[in-house]
Amino acid sequence: MLPPPGTAFTSADLQGGAQLTYYGGDIAEIALATVLAAQWYTATDRARRRARRRSTTVRRPQTEDASA
């Protein structure tokens, strides 16, 4: 692999940069997937707890207002 003309990069520098970009992209994707999964889990857990709270809440029957 030849370096671009007019640059001071060696072939080893270019290959090292390419590997860093390749594997660094994998790390970035894993981090993004982890953040998205954590947000999804938090949102669904919050909804699940809210639904559970609503189903266990004792509701008093509505009475008609006697003064009307």
Q: Tell me the pLDDT of the chain (68 aa) as tens digits.
A: 677 788 888 889 999 999 999 998 989 999 999 999 999 988 888 777 878 888 776 666 677 765 65
**Containing H/E element for 60?**
none
Is 11 within 8 Å of 3 (Cβ atoms)? yes
DSSP 63: -
Q: What is the pLDDT, as a whole number, of residue 68? A: 54
6: left (phi over 0), alpha (psi -120 to 50) or beta: left
Contacts of 9 (CB under 8 A, 6+ apart): 3
Q: List all residues 6 or more positions away from 2 whose beta carbon is below 8 Å from its beta carbon.
A: 11
